A and B are shown apart, each in its own frame.
Chain A
Amino acid sequence: MSMSEYCDMFKAEANEHLQQLNHTLLELEQDNSNLENINIMFRAAHTLKGMAATMGYNKIAEVTHEMENLMDSIRNQEIDINSTIINVLFECLDQLEFGIENIETECDMDISAILLRLNEVSSSAEKHEHVAENVTCVSESIDLKEDDIKKCQSLCEDKDSSIFNVQVTLDETCLLKTARTGLVLRELDKMGTVVKTVPSQEDIDSGNIDNEINIVFVTANNENVVIEKISKVSEISNVKIDPLDLDNILAAEKTESMPSIPSTPTSTSKSMKNSMNEDNVKSVQSVRVSIERLDNLMNMVGELLINKSRLNQLAIELETKKLDETLASLDRLTNDIQVEVMDARMVQIDQVFNRFPRMVRDLSIEQKKKISFLTEGNEIELDRTVLDEIGDPLVHLLRNAVDHGIETPEERIAKNKTETGSLNLKASRLRNNVLIELQDDGRGIDPVKMRDVAIKKGLFERAQANDLSDREAMYLIFEPGFSAAEEVTDISGRGVGMDAVKNKIEDLGGSVELESVVEQGTTIRLKLPLTVAIIQSLLVNVGEETYAVPINNIVRDEVIEQDDIRSIKGEKVVNLRGEVLPLVDLHDVLSVPHNKENYRDNNNLLVVVVEKAGQHIGLIVDKLLGQQEVIIKTLDNKLLKNVKGFSGATILGNGNVALILDVPTLV
């Protein structure tokens, strides 16, 4: 593996840890009494430090080290957590993110400022007297879960044994803590059964231990023998052994509904919780695979599907019954593979959503607004390619909502609204689409104001503007160069946002909808396809040629008569049950060389009605071949750069290539 590959892996992993840090810090900001969050952060920072140091990224290691020190003081309750500390920690995360992003120049990163800030907060914060942990009753410092207790009970019943809590303190100078602890545990194993260790076995294996180890141990031997055996292991400074009374523990269990958490959170019980958390994390097994690999796999599955349908065709032509069974199982298998590969490409939308709480927090502080931001449906899955593309549009929308949507607290109070504005981002699954909804309870979009701005910008005359329906007026924000904001701020208002959002979403084969009530808020809905690699399409013939029309674009199909076609301003239209439908003859648009009269019955013209920017357009085709799932392959060749109207090509069952029409650019 080359250095750059290590570097990519580092970046990917480091970003995950950063994300976790950000997320946990936000939670901590909401509820700073939950010290478990500090523990999670501590672990993440610790891992990051280790990774960075291994890779030689010393600046990152240094920053994380200082963060660790600060968090350590917090979790030992030497420092009280406050907003200054949280802000400094956020700054650290930004610094780290910057460092990881520009990892090549990491060594040039200036971290003196951030280190200074860290030192300031850790020294200025009021330090508590460090209360030495007084472990008088050892049984308090170990937390036995129900199954552990059961295990003890069964062990005690079998033999004439008793339960002990053994506390082993390693020498300060002990270098190989894992090895020493291992020796101690081996000694104990010889004499009886180790039920539980704090820190956990996994932590011990990974060297994640302090000098003190607590062990719950069942043995038939007496205390002195145990102490003697353990003391033989070198570099042990102290061994303490106390009998454990199961009945007491059980009684304590009953009085407290929660598994016995000692009233004063001692460091051991905390590390116990850590180990429980880590157990949970480790149960998920996964490997990192580059998207390129999945793309290749997807392509190959595509080819497999094509070959399968060819084989099916051949079997029909050859009329051999013998193949039927094999083909049926091949059918099933290929379908399963397709589903699996598609699934492997699916990523939880959380990957995009999880960076927003931080962003909204920063924006609202900057804007001096109070916003409660909630995300929902984070577990909804989307194809990786779609997911990669929706981040920026969502950022635009969120910024708009914070900037223009939600009012300042004073303004809200004056309007009889709650001081804190609410902003909800919700993802949900809608058949083959994913719906992303962004809802705010801000000032909404005022159609009257929109018309005024449109006139001011010279987009419309007064009379024209007044002709616009409220809905049309609101949709003006999707026009290029349109911005309703009176002043341009750092955040938004340059008028490049909304049309870019719309274009991007439409490029992905999705759509944008807007709903807004003045003074009540705005809802923006993005409808996105689950995947862009495979789409449902309608295959049509134009002359001898076959084209695929994405089902997403299709409204319905119609049969019309040549005589019903009218001409308005040189455009062909047909009046269908009161709706004037513009018509486009694909023969002409695609300059198909065949003589169209040979393919048509003028009394039965086939029209596929498609939607383009909310408007219906009828495409005249010669034959409908049926619906089919097609795999999109791009047509990226510089010779074709002037070709418009196709989103790609696909390979049909007979091995031929069919172009996929891109309705927005075609007509």
Chain B
Amino acid sequence: MEEKTLKIDRKMDEDDDNENVLQLVIFQLGGEEFAVDIMQVQEIIRMPETTRIPQAPEYVKGVINLRGKIIVVVSLDVKFNIEAKEVDENSRVIVVEVDDTILGMVVDSVSEVIRLPHSNVENAPDIITSKIKAEYIEGVGKLDERLLILLDLKKVLQESEMDQISNIKKNT
């Protein structure tokens, strides 16, 4: 039900505004601000109990029980090689659907949902001092003085070749 109403809201918003406005979920991780398209976000939940999976890639934190569904959660900090906070009451799991797969991403906190005109988004400039690999970044959104890193979730949540190679090495 919740999901349905949410969808209707989105639809109405789209009708109201012109199509050139992005709706983004803003979250914090390791002192930086990231953004993902709200269309990819299913829900945002508090940090649940996770079950570790032996032999899984390092950035896979484990699996959780999401109302009876078992879904994989990833630690974005490990994936991005940045230092996140310890898990506290602000920690959240953003549940996203990418390529028909439902996944959770652990983040330090989720602050808000914003609207951002497409024109405010630029291709990732070289001046970005983020340690995050450029391939994960879809663009950089400017909101007043803030810089939001728009993530390309498909690339982030796909097991890259490098990961596979390191896994093979680990297993042999």
Contacts and interface: CB of A to CB of B under 8 A. Distances in A.
B52 interface: yes
B51 A545 contact: yes
Interface in A294-346: 299-300, 302-303, 306
B129 interface: no
Contact of B68 (A306, A592, A638, A646): A306
Contacts of A659: 51, 53
Contact of A645 (B54, B101, B167, B168): B54
Most buried by B among A306, A642, A644: A642
B74 to A, nearest CB: 7
A248 interface: no
A651 interface: yes
Given A639-B57, A639-B159, A642-B171, A656 B51 contact: yes
B65 A638 contact: no
Size class of B's contact patch?
20 to 34
Main SS of chain A's interface residues?
A: mixed
B119 interface: no
Contacts of B158: 638
Contacts of A656: 49, 51, 65
Nearest to B63: A657
Contacts of A643: 53-56
A637 interface: yes
Nearest to A644: B55
Contacts of A642: 55-57, 164, 167-168, 171
Nearest to B99: A638
Contacts of B167: 642
B4 interface: no
A655 B53 contact: no
A273 interface: no
Interface string B9-37: 00000000000000000000000000000
Nearest to A591: B54
A649 B54 contact: no
B70 A657 contact: yes
Given A651-B65, A656-B65, A633 B54 contact: no
Contact of A657 (B54, B60, B64, B103): B64
A635 interface: yes
Nearest to A593: B52
A655 to B, nearest CB: 6
A300 B69 CA distance: 10
A63 to B, nearest CB: 41
B67 interface: yes
A657 B55 contact: no
Contacts of A635: 53, 63, 70, 72
Nearest to A640: B56
A638 B159 contact: yes
Contacts of B55: 591, 642-645
Nearest to B67: A303
Contacts of A156: none
Contacts of A155: none
A658 B50 CA distance: 10
Given A637-B101, A640-B53, A645-B55, A657 B171 contact: no
B51 A299 contact: no
Contacts of B103: 637, 639
A299 B70 CA distance: 11
Contacts of B71: 637
A430 interface: no
A639 B68 contact: no
A638 B101 contact: yes
Contacts of B50: 657
A637 B54 CA distance: 14
Nearest to A658: B51
B32 to A, nearest CB: 23
B172 to A, nearest CB: 11
A300 B168 CA distance: 37
Nearest to A589: B54
Given A638-B159, A642-B55, A657-B65, A651 B49 contact: no
A301 to B, nearest CB: 10
A627 to B, nearest CB: 20
B70 A633 contact: yes
Contacts of B72: 635, 637, 639-640
Contacts of A590: 54
Nearest to B158: A638
Nearest to A634: B70
Nearest to A302: B68
Max chain A CB contacts within 10 Å: which of B52, B54, B64, B157? B54
Contacts of A646: 53
B133 to A, nearest CB: 17
A100 B101 CA distance: 34
Interface string B54-90: 1111001011110111111010000000000000000
A391 B159 CA distance: 35
A175 to B, nearest CB: 52
Shortest 9 CB-CB contacts between residues of A and residues of B: A303-B68, A657-B51, A590-B54, A637-B72, A643-B55, A633-B70, A651-B65, A642-B167, A649-B70
Given A642-B167, A642-B168, A643-B54, 10 more contacts: A545-B51, A590-B54, A592-B54, A637-B72, A649-B63, A657-B50, A657-B62, A657-B64, A657-B70, A659-B51
25 contacts: A303-B67, A590-B54, A593-B52, A635-B70, A635-B72, A637-B101, A637-B103, A638-B101, A638-B158, A639-B56, A639-B60, A639-B103, A640-B56, A640-B60, A640-B72, A642-B164, A643-B56, A645-B54, A645-B55, A646-B53, A649-B51, A649-B70, A657-B50, A657-B51, A657-B65
Interface of A: 299-300, 302-303, 306, 545, 589-593, 633, 635, 637-646, 649, 651, 655-659
